[in-house]
Amino acid sequence: MTENNLIESIDEKDILILRTLQQNARLTVKQVAAECHLSLTPVFERIKRLEKDGYIKRYITVLDAEKLHRGFVVFCSVKLSPVNKKVARAFCDTITNIPEVTECYNISGRFDYLLKVHSPNMKYYQEFVLDVLGSIPNLGTIESTFVMEEVKHKFGVSI
């Protein structure tokens, strides 16, 4: 499949608008139009359509985890026991309500889920594992991988 087949209902102007907004979502419509060399009204209408059609999910502010004392990042691999639909749904429902877990993926391989956890330090993470994750029913195995340095962290999607 070509890239154009994957993105059927948007054109190059839409992609240019998406790229521009992905770099800086605080731009006004007027600024986006200027960046994209397009006129104001069509850009406004395109942005509204891209939002309505779900290409733009939401606008966020990216915070500095280090300055907020949440820069200790851990990838936590989780194995459930047993694994079935009911146990998986209960786990997902629980994880979505834990603020330290900023990302959660259902994965294939040795583990069932991969969590990205932000905490202030190792001691906090240890207590988090024992008190929070340890209290989740049907949690089998946990393996923690500690981030020593963030080499690349891009937000968004390459389009």
Q: What is the pLDDT of residues 24-79, one digit of tens each?
A: 999 999 999 999 999 999 999 999 999 999 999 999 999 999 999 999 999 999 99
Q: Are residues 78 and 114 in the same domain?
A: yes
Mean pLDDT of 113-128: 98
pLDDT at 5 over 70: no
The answer to whether position 33 is within a domain reads yes
Is there a domain that residue 122 lies in? yes
CA distance 7 to 14: 10
- The Cα diameter of the chain in Å comes to 57
Check whether residue 91 and residue 47 sit in a common domain. no
What pLDDT, on the 0 to 100 scale, is given for residue 9?
A: 84
Q: What total number of domains does the chain contain?
A: 2
Per the structure, the complete domain to which residue 25 belongs is given by 6-52
Per the domain annotation, does 64 fall within a domain?
no
- Measured in degrees and rounded to the nearest 5, phi and psi for residue 40 equal -60, -55
User: Would the pLDDT of 154 be above 90?
Assistant: no
Does the residue 66 lie in any domain? no
Q: For residue 4, is pLDDT > 60?
A: no
| 7 pLDDT tier (thresholds 50, 70, 90) | low
